[in-house]
Structure 1
Amino acid sequence: MKVQHYKNHIRYYPPHHFVFYPVVLLLEGFAIYRAITNESLRELWVFIALIVLLVAWLSYMTRQHYALQLQDRLVRLEMRHKYAMLTGKDFEPQEQKLSFGQIAALRFASDDELVPLINKAIKENLPPKAIKQMIRHWKADYMRV
């Protein structure tokens, strides 16, 4: 497996990102083209274009919604566990001061960096991107959705 860090941590699902969406984009383009060039069936092609757009949007929302909702819960639990193991303290007081985006960014920090980075994120209200960029010893997450 490739070493994971800030610049390569985004994952793609090839059938969805590189097959389904390009096909939907082509269908949408074709439907719009036909709506413009075929006056007699313009309303039908506009309707088809809207249906294709709706299918694309629904597929994206459904695919993302359930997986991300579960992942958010798991990330919070992971951080609570990790913080408790490192400090012997409850993470909840710090968790309440952090956004989910900040918590998600902090999970990439190594054990040595985590607690100081949590304190810095709270004190300076660092955005998730800045937190990720401050991590020197990236702890990869190869199971992300």
Structure 2
Amino acid sequence: MKRKSLDNDVCPVARSLEAVGDVWSVLIVRQAFAGKRRFGEFQTSLGVAKNILTVRLRKLVSLGVLEQVPAADGSAYHEYALTEKGRGLYLVLTAIRQWGETCGGAAKYVLIDRRDRKPVKPLAFYAHDGRELGDGDMELVPAAEV
């Protein structure tokens, strides 16, 4: 049975997961942030089957998360580059990473500030007055009420 598409769902979480909610798509974007650009680099680093990688790359390009660009070395090949929309996923991937770090095991890499080489603070939500907010401090309400 084919799964219902959530492309036009009213919920932004559902629409976002429709776009990049499968494991391979998220890992491809992660690898793009890590500097991978070529099909072979994605395939080798992820160990994903070529047919699955092909489908996911096409979907990410069609969604505007990645774009195909000429190879940097001038060869006949093309590469995949993150678009502005794709770069917008950095906070999402960082949040998932930080959540994963709290759920088990030491991380192989640490996210640091390039300027001072110190680890960055975990992502957090802040109120309009600068207070850090926890999940008990926030609620989701209809936009018309704000």
State the TM-score, normalized to the length of structure 2.
0.23
Higher relative contact order, structure no. (Cα contacts within 8 Å, ≥ 6 residues apart):
1
Q: Which has the larger radius of gyration?
A: 1
The structure with the largest strand share of the pair is 2
Structure having the higher helix fraction is 1
